[in-house]
Amino acid sequence: MFINGEWVEARSGATFEVTNPATGEVIGTMPDGGAEDTEAAIAAADAAQAEWGATTAYERADLLMEAWRIMTERSADLAALMTREQGKPLKASSAEVKYAADFLRWFAEEARRITGEWLPSARKDQRFLSVKTPVGVVAAVTPWNYPISMLTRKMGPALAAGCTIVLKPAEATPLCAKAVYECFVDAGIPDGVINLVTAADPKPIGDVFTSDPRVKKLTFTGSTAVGRILASKAGHSLQRVSVELGGHAPFIVYPDADPVHAAKGAAALKFLNSGQACISPNRLFVHADHADAFIDTIVPRVAKVKAGEGTVEGVGVGPLVNEAAVAKVAAQVDDARAKGAEVPVGGMRLVEDGLDRGHFYAPTVVTGVTEDMTIYREETFGPVAPIVVYDDVDEVISMANDTNYGLAAYVYTRHLSTAIRAMEGLNFGIIGINDVNPTSAAAPFGGMGDSGLGREGGTEGIAEYQETKLAGIAL
């Protein structure tokens, strides 16, 4: 772990193993920290807060740019580590490292854009000055599915704003977190500004994060269930909270769309990271006029997707994170089958050619999906594309909004008016219009409803780590 500028073991001396989800191979060990370690990390961050918060925007920007340079320089090694630890294909890992580094560069620039403003007063002898200040010590919890970019998406704005940070990475991917921290250490980050606590059991750390009065903000990316628990506990301490949670993204193909183009887009997006993405399309609404063309295009494309270890040439889908994930995907597909759905491709766990050593599920298409099926209601987080055929264009927005989640949605149409009406009508924070990648470090990321609170990235991202301070000045 990294506490107050030093690499340290857990105070208990305990460790836990990190495994490759594609092979089951143990690839490393990490300290198994607990409450005492977390308290030490918070103390270090708290002690460093005043000095770090007093640095100039230019100093913070320069450090973030140096971290960006180092991360870019080490991109090949970081991608290789990610593929071993998380399982995604090497090409996808490389893309994620670039995306992750972009957050450092973007927020280095945002640091220099922190401004205040003079405000008018009704009194002639009074002026108001509003300024932005760092919120203080930040506790961050990051997920396993994007084990590098989810760190920089929080660390970048927090550090740019002048906050110190204590981060708990996912227990499945702590080696990636350690490698990211090494980039910051080599960039010259002052002692205590960034702290890393790792553990096999996240609960004791979360309990300290949400109860310690020195922690002024909690930021979490993960499941809605855990996010609710953490946000509820943080409420007792009146901590600032931002949580990026689950999704159940609709993918709407309108009658005026090109079904072949839409199917290609759906196939490219759905199986990214083995479907283990909160913005992954989970309900593909295809108009009846296009159903045959869409299915005839997507099925053979999915059949060609090769599953396997991410280092193998040509592999497009890696393993799921663990056995529980495989069981969840299998249960949803089996439930759909039992209720009348068809599975023209995939629909089984993969065990041939050594894949039984890992957690693999075949890239799958399910057709004839109806509202009574579990897959229609619940996030899958796996390589399954469920297709829902609809007839009434006037009802498809209501069908898409029939969920408590509100993170991402996708629309395929040739008409601008249809696109605008869909964007205005969909209750989702991110909407891709003929676009399967509506994300960028420069764009706000976040959802509505059960998908979370707050935004990451863009100009909104740094505001999550700032307080507003007002001075009333009598002349």
Cα separation of 233 and 100, whole Å?
A: 29
Residues of the chain with CATH 3.40.605.10: 2-245+451-474
Residues of the chain with CATH 3.40.309.10: 249-440
Provide the pLDDT for residue 303: 97
Question: Tokens 């507003």 map to which residue?
Answer: 468
Cα separation of 157 and 215, whole Å?
A: 17
Mean pLDDT of 22-51: 98
CATH C-level class of 2-245+451-474: alpha beta
Q: Which of 113, 139, 130, 115 is nearest to 49 (CA)?
A: 139
Cα separation of 157 and 64, whole Å?
A: 10
Q: Which of 174, 186, 179, 180 is nearest to 152 (CA)?
A: 180
Provide the pLDDT for residue 47: 98
**Per-residue pLDDT band at 29 (split at 50, 70, 90):** very high
Provide the pLDDT for residue 386: 98
Q: What is the CATH number of domain 249-440?
A: 3.40.309.10
Please return the burial class of 35, using the count of CB atoms within 10 Å of its CB with bins 0-12, 13-18 and 19+: middle
What are the pLDDT digits (tens) for 257-310? 999 999 999 999 999 999 999 999 999 999 999 999 999 999 999 999 999 999
Catalytic center residues: 244, 278
What pTM did the predictor assign? Answer: 0.96
* Length of the chain in terms of residues written: 475
DSSP state of 451: T
Mean pLDDT of 199-225: 97
Paired with 28 in beta bridges are 18
Provide the pLDDT for residue 96: 98
Amino acid type, 252: I
What are the pLDDT digits (tens) for 63-121? 999 999 999 999 999 999 999 999 999 999 999 999 999 999 999 999 999 999 999 99
What are the pLDDT digits (tens) for 165-187? 999 999 999 999 999 999 999 99
Cα separation of 48 and 164, whole Å?
A: 7
